[in-house]
């Protein structure tokens, strides 16, 4: 602590590092302020925003047709006039496909995480706060899903429901619900035995108020960070599903699928073949770094 | 909130013989603020294949006492004797198995709801850090309970700042700070302010100063005394520190393994303790006075396991004066005077206090 305080509160001297009273600064504004001082998090957030914008404005950024190929211009190298990132194995412009591919990849990466975040934390908070039989039923149900390796579970669900983007999103949501639920449950269980929750109960606060004001802040703080780190895993898993022919179907552009189909060209045009992988790597790393940045920004105890 | 006059206004309303200015007062000065009857809590110990209850911990067993208006009742005992469980039972944080609470003449659960009770009774916890939400600036922690009871945010905040000033923390400097930016003593002041935010009449202080440095402890104790006078509060002061209890309490209740063994005015208990446990406890009290060095046999061993407490008197396994009767019947609280006359509210649960008196000569 930077302040040198005497024990008697009335005559406390405040050190230079502690700002004078800052009325009206809430928790989230303080988080924003700390984020603003973290250049790496800002940089990766800008990259992610860029990728999202690229997905939204794909037709304007890459005016060519992502599906139109020509046997005449297969596997052109990087720097070919008209195809500055080269072409793929059926002669489609790789830049165009990468830009369009960000759409499906982001949906396949973010949607399962968002769905499982909502469902998983609701289940987890209920299980953690209610405890007893209900809590046990929910958690043992989650354990059933844990019994399978996540990729196997996703493959099984996808295989059952048939391929396609929607089914791959649903399958991955089901895969991600158990870990989300587990984290929410453990944070809730920890939080509800804390003295400040007891103090709130002792002053007549209702259960729903306690969950909204005390439990949710703790659960969301932890789980949002976990969720952003899951996005990269989700992108890779959905790419894996596409790779196996269970997720996005060709000829639709999706980075995982593109990586798979360009695999055969790795000896002919290694740089071109690696590009979808580079995009997956950049995107998942940025999501990971962003989640790290958010975690430290949201921890008031690390604040300076 | 109730239309309780502000503290300053009550202070200026002139000296009256009894502090009955509080409009919430019902029974008058003679009605105890809180009567606890046969409070019992046994925790099941679960285990085995089907997670069945295989034993019970008799954490609090048939505890009865009363707290008069405006007094400080100290509760002392070794760790694990049920002091904190008693506090949590009183606050309704855990459900008692048996027993009744009567708050100012109204039975809790019958005439008075638990919610209504909680506005008149508040608690300060031992761990000053864990009892504040780390994500809230302290002013919001203090204002939280009033806001949940429908006080407007601006008004609740204003009241919280007044309370901060009243516990000796300058609101301009401290209001926006987070708990981790305060020292332990400052945080405990915040906790006191938080407990007072709902304008309670009874405050339970569960080891509230135990975790503080001695000098800070003294400051907080003095603050508690000052606040008690200013807001005409009543305290239940739980501590294992006998010196602190002697300083602040009017009456003392001694607990052993979930039972009350002795209760009485502080000067009587400290001058002439009647229960062998109280004697041993007081003898173990550290003192700087060489003339008052311990002469009693110190207590040896740990308290027995509360899962299977000894039959009869629970202290008999460690008691130097135990007789046959102690194993047969549990002693009941009775007037501490050997002749059975009134002993100034001094009660002891022991079969042989007179015998020891004689033996000790």
- Residue B109, beta-bridge partner list: none
Q: Where are the alpha helices (DSSP H) in chain A?
A: 27-36, 39-56, 58-61, 94-130, 132-146, 150-161, 165-192, 195-202, 207-210, 216-243, 255-262, 270-298
pLDDT at position B118: 85
- pLDDT, tens digit, 9 for 90 and up, residues A153-186: 888 888 888 878 888 899 999 999 999 999 999 9
User: Nearest-CA neighbor of B86 among B58, B113, B109, B119?
Assistant: B58
Domain encompassing residue A138: 28-62+90-302
Close Cβ partners of B44 (under 8 Å, ≥ 6 residues apart): B53, B55, B56
More confident position, A107 or B13: A107
pLDDT at position B67: 93
Chain-centre distance for alpha carbon A66: 27
Q: Indicate which of B84, B130, B133 best probes the interface with A, i.e. most A CBs within 10 Å of its own CB.
A: B133
pLDDT category, A255, cuts 50, 70, 90?
confident
Provide, as residue numbers in chain B, all residues whose Cβ is less than 8 Å from the Cβ of A213. Answer: 144
pLDDT at position B337: 65
Provide, as residue numbers in chain A, all residues whose Cβ is less than 8 Å from the Cβ of B183. Answer: 5, 7
pLDDT category, A275, cuts 50, 70, 90?
confident
Provide, as residue numbers in chain A, all residues whose Cβ is less than 8 Å from the Cβ of B115. Answer: 204
Which candidate from B135, B189, B197 shows the least CB-CB separation from A27? Answer: B135
User: Nearest-CA neighbor of A294 among A234, A231, A221?
Assistant: A221
Contact assignment for B176 to A300 by CB distance below 8 Å: no
User: Which region among A71-85, B84-98, B167-181 has the lowest average model confidence (pLDDT)?
Assistant: A71-85
**Is pLDDT at A225 greater than 70 in this prediction?**
yes
Close Cβ partners of A71 (under 8 Å, ≥ 6 residues apart): A90, A91
3-state secondary structure of B129: coil
In this structure, are residues A222 and A216 in contact, taking their beta carbons and an 8 Å threshold? Answer: no
Q: What's the gap in Å between the CA of B141 and the closest CA on chain A?
A: 9
Provide, as residue numbers in chain B, all residues whose Cβ is less than 8 Å from the Cβ of A209. Answer: 148
Q: What whole-number distance in Å separates Cα of residue A239 and Cα of residue A255?
A: 7
Tokens matching residue A254:
């999706």
- pLDDT, tens digit, 9 for 90 and up, residues B27-74: 777 888 999 999 999 888 877 666 777 788 888 988 999 999 999 999
Q: What whole-number distance in Å separates Cα of residue B311 and Cα of residue A261?
A: 80
Chain-centre distance for alpha carbon B264: 14
More confident position, A273 or A115: A115
- pLDDT, tens digit, 9 for 90 and up, residues A129-139: 888 899 899 99
Which candidate from B118, B175, B176 shows the least CB-CB separation from A203? Answer: B118
- pLDDT, tens digit, 9 for 90 and up, residues A229-241: 888 788 888 878 8
Q: Which residue of B has its CA nearest to A201?
A: B93
Q: What's the gap in Å between the CA of A162 and the closest CA on chain B?
A: 42
Determine, yes or no, domain membership for A222: yes
Contact assignment for A217 to B135 by CB distance below 8 Å: yes
Determine, yes or no, domain membership for A7: no
Determine, yes or no, domain membership for A67: no
- Mean pLDDT along residues A249-273: 82
pLDDT category, B354, cuts 50, 70, 90?
low
Determine, yes or no, domain membership for A68: no
Tokens matching residue B13:
């309303």
Helices (H) and strands (E) in chain B, counts: 13, 12
Residue A56 CB-half CA count within 13 A: 6
pLDDT at position B263: 92
Residue B315 CB-half CA count within 13 A: 29
In this structure, are residues A39 and A90 in contact, taking their beta carbons and an 8 Å threshold? Answer: no
Tokens matching residue B159:
């009241």
More confident position, B59 or A77: B59
**Interface predicted TM-score (ipTM):** 0.77
Taking the CB of residue B272, how many other CB atoms lie within 10 A of it?
Answer: 14
In this structure, are residues A247 and A163 in contact, taking their beta carbons and an 8 Å threshold? Answer: yes
Number of domains within chain A = 1
Q: What's the gap in Å between the CA of A134 and the closest CA on chain B?
A: 15
**Is pLDDT at B307 greater than 70 in this prediction?**
yes
Q: Indicate which of A2, A21, A196 best probes the interface with B, i.e. most B CBs within 10 Å of its own CB.
A: A196
Which candidate from A198, A209, A303 shows the least CB-CB separation from B148? Answer: A209
Radius of gyration of chain A (CA): 24
pLDDT at position A52: 92
Backbone angles phi, psi at B35, to 5 degrees: -115, 130
In this structure, are residues B26 and B106 in contact, taking their beta carbons and an 8 Å threshold? Answer: yes
User: For residue A92, with 0-12 CB atoms within 10 Å meaning exposed, 13-18 middle and 19 or more buried, which class applies?
Assistant: buried
What kind and span of H or E run contains B279? helix B276-283
Question: What is the pairing mode between strands B72-76 and B121-124?
Answer: unpaired
pLDDT at position A23: 40
pLDDT at position B293: 61
User: Nearest-CA neighbor of B279 among B317, B319, B325?
Assistant: B319
Sheet holding B202-206, edge to edge: B121-124, B202-206, B234-238, B72-76, B251-256, B259-265, B347-348, B334-335
Which candidate from B88, B123, B149 shows the least CB-CB separation from A204? Answer: B149
Which candidate from B115, B125, B170 shows the least CB-CB separation from A12? Answer: B170
Provide, as residue numbers in chain A, all residues whose Cβ is less than 8 Å from the Cβ of B148. Answer: 200, 203-206, 209
pLDDT at position B194: 92
Q: What whole-number distance in Å separates Cα of residue B48 and Cα of residue B273?
A: 44
pLDDT at position B296: 59
Q: What's the gap in Å between the CA of A203 and the closest CA on chain B?
A: 6
Contact assignment for A198 to B125 by CB distance below 8 Å: yes
**Is pLDDT at B238 greater than 60 in this prediction?**
yes
- pLDDT, tens digit, 9 for 90 and up, residues B69-122: 999 999 998 888 888 899 999 988 888 999 999 998 888 888 888 888 888 899
Q: Indicate which of A14, A190, A202 best probes the interface with B, i.e. most B CBs within 10 Å of its own CB.
A: A202
Q: What whole-number distance in Å separates Cα of residue A150 and Cα of residue A177?
A: 11
Determine, yes or no, domain membership for A80: no
Q: What whole-number distance in Å separates Cα of residue B168 and Cα of residue B193?
A: 10
CATH topology of domain B7-248: Rossmann fold (3.40.50)
Q: Name the percent of chain B lying above pLDDT 70.
A: 85
Q: What's the gap in Å between the CA of A8 and the closest CA on chain B?
A: 7
Close Cβ partners of B271 (under 8 Å, ≥ 6 residues apart): none
The residues spanned by each domain of chain B are 7-248, 276-360
pLDDT category, A19, cuts 50, 70, 90?
very low
Q: What is the DSSP letter of B298?
A: P
Provide, as residue numbers in chain B, all residues whose Cβ is less than 8 Å from the Cβ of A195. Answer: 125, 127, 130-131
Tell me if the bond preceding A251 is cis, omega within 30° of 0: yes
Provide, as residue numbers in chain B, all residues whose Cβ is less than 8 Å from the Cβ of A23. Answer: 175-176
pLDDT at position A86: 77
pLDDT category, A8, cuts 50, 70, 90?
very low
Contact assignment for B178 to A14 by CB distance below 8 Å: no
More confident position, B27 or B251: B251
pLDDT at position B124: 93
Tokens matching residue B326:
């102690």
Determine, yes or no, domain membership for A46: yes
DSSP codes joined into one string, A165-220: HHHHHHHHHHHHHHHHHHHHHHHHHHHHTSHHHHHHHHTT--HHHHIIIIIHHHHH
Which candidate from B131, B168, B180 shows the least CB-CB separation from A9? Answer: B168
pLDDT category, A116, cuts 50, 70, 90?
very high
User: Which region among A14-18, A183-187, B98-102, B308-312 has the lowest average model confidence (pLDDT)?
Assistant: A14-18
**Is pLDDT at B320 greater than 70 in this prediction?**
yes
Provide, as residue numbers in chain A, all residues whose Cβ is less than 8 Å from the Cβ of B133. Answer: 196, 214, 217
More confident position, A269 or B165: B165
- Mean pLDDT along residues B301-307: 76
pLDDT at position B1: 43
Q: Which residue of A has its CA nearest to B147?
A: A205
- Mean pLDDT along residues B238-264: 91
pLDDT category, A245, cuts 50, 70, 90?
confident
More confident position, B3 or B166: B166
User: Which region among A227-231, B14-18, B173-177, B244-248 has the lowest average model confidence (pLDDT)?
Assistant: B14-18
**Is pLDDT at A13 greater than 60 in this prediction?**
no
Question: What is the pairing mode between strands B251-256 and B72-76?
Answer: parallel
Size of interface A-B (CB pairs under 8 A): 106
pLDDT at position A184: 93
pLDDT category, A212, cuts 50, 70, 90?
confident
**Is pLDDT at A242 greater than 50 in this prediction?**
yes
Alpha-carbon torsion B249, B313, B52, B80, what sign?
A: positive
Q: What is the mean pLDDT of chain A?
A: 81
Determine, yes or no, domain membership for A105: yes
Close Cβ partners of A254 (under 8 Å, ≥ 6 residues apart): A101, A104, A105, A108, A238, A239, A242, A247, A248
Provide, as residue numbers in chain B, all residues whose Cβ is less than 8 Å from the Cβ of A221. Answer: 135
Tokens matching residue A231:
């996005």
Provide the Cα torsion B100, B73, B183, A34; round to 10°: 20
> Which residues of A lie inside 8 Å of B (Cβ-Cβ)?
1, 3, 5, 7-10, 12, 14, 18, 20-23, 25, 27, 194-196, 198-206, 209, 213-214, 217-218, 221, 300-301, 303
Which candidate from A5, A25, A300 shows the least CB-CB separation from B135? Answer: A300
Q: Name the percent of chain A lying above pLDDT 90.
A: 17
Q: What's the gap in Å between the CA of A290 and the closest CA on chain B?
A: 21
Q: Which residue of B has its CA nearest to A190?
A: B130
Determine, yes or no, domain membership for A136: yes
**Is pLDDT at A11 greater than 70 in this prediction?**
no
pLDDT at position B294: 56
Q: What's the gap in Å between the CA of A19 and the closest CA on chain B?
A: 9
Q: What whole-number distance in Å separates Cα of residue A296 and Cα of residue A132?
A: 34
Q: Report the CATH number at residue A207.
A: 1.10.3720.10
């Amino acid at each position: 602590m930077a302040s040198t305080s005497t024990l008697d509160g009335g005559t406390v001297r405040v050190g230079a590092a502690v700002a004078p009273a800052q009325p009206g600064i809430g928790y989230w504004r303080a988080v924003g302020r700390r984020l603003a001082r973290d250049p790496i998090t800002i940089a990766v957030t800008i990259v992610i925003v860029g990728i999202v914008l690229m997905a939204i404005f794909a037709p304007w950024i890459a005016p060519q047709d992502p599906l139109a190929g020509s046997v005449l211009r297969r596997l052109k190298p990087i720097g070919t006039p008209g195809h500055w990132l080269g072409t793929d194995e059926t002669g489609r412009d790789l830049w165009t496909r990468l830009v369009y591919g960000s759409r499906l990849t982001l949906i396949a990466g973010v949607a399962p995480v968002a769905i499982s975040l909502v469902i998983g934390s609701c289940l987890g908070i209920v299980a953690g706060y209610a405890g007893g039989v209900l809590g046990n039923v929910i958690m043992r149900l989650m354990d059933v899903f844990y019994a399978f390796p996540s990729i196997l579970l996703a493959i099984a669900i996808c295989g059952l429901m048939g391929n396609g983007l929607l089914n791959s999103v649903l399958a991955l949501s089901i895969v991600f619900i158990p870990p989300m639920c587990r984290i929410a449950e453990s944070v809730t269980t920890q939080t509800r035995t804390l003295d400040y929750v007891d103090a709130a109960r002792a002053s007549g606060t209702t259960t729903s108020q306690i969950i909204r004001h005390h439990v949710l802040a703790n659960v969301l703080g932890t789980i949002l960070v976990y969720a952003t780190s899951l996005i990269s895993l989700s992108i890779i898993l959905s790419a894996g599903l596409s790779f196996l022919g269970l997720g996005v179907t060709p000829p639709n552009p999706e980075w995982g699928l593109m990586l798979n189909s360009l695999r055969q060209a790795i000896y002919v045009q290694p740089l071109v073949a690696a590009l979808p992988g580079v995009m997956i790597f950049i995107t998942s790393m940025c999501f990971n770094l962003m989640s790290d940045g958010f975690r430290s920004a949201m921890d008031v105890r690390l604040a300076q | 909130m109730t239309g309780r006059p502000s503290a300053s206004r009550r202070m200026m309303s002139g000296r009256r013989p009894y502090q009955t200015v509080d409009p919430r007062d019902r029974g008058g000065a003679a009605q105890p603020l809180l009567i606890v009857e046969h409070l019992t809590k046994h925790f099941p110990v679960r285990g085995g294949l089907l997670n069945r209850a295989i034993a019970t911990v008799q954490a609090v067993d048939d505890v009865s006492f009363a707290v008069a208006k405006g007094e400080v009742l100290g509760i002392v005992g070794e760790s694990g004797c049920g002091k904190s469980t008693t506090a949590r039972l009183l606050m309704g944080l855990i459900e008692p198995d048996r027993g009744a609470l009567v708050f100012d003449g109204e039975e809790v659960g019958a005439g008075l709801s638990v919610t209504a009770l909680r506005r008149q009774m508040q608690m300060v916890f031992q761990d000053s850090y864990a009892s504040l939400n780390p994500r809230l600036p302290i002013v919001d922690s203090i204002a939280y309970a009033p806001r949940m009871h429908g006080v407007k945010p601006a008004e609740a905040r204003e009241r919280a700042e007044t309370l901060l000033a009243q516990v000796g923390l300058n609101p301009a400097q401290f209001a926006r700070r987070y708990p981790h930016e305060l020292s332990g003593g400052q945080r405990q002041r915040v906790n006191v302010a938080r407990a007072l935010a709902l304008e309670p009449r009874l405050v339970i202080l569960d080891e509230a100063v135990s975790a503080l440095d001695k000098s800070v402890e003294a400051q907080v104790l003095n603050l508690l005394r000052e606040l008690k006078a200013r807001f005409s509060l009543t305290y239940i002061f739980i501590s294992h520190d006998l010196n602190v209890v002697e300083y602040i309490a009017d009456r003392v209740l001694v607990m052993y393994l979930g039972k009350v063994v002795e209760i009485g005015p502080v000067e009587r208990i400290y001058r002439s303790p009647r229960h062998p446990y109280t004697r041993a406890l007081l003898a173990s009290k550290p003192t700087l006075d060489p003339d008052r060095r311990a002469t009693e046999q110190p207590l040896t061993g740990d308290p027995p396991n509360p899962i299977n407490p000894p039959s009869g008197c629970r202290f008999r396994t460690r008691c130097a004066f135990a007789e046959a009767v102690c194993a047969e019947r549990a002693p009941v609280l009775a007037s501490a005077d050997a002749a059975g006359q009134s002993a100034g509210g001094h009660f002891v649960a022991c079969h042989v206090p007179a015998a020891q008196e004689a033996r000790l000569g």
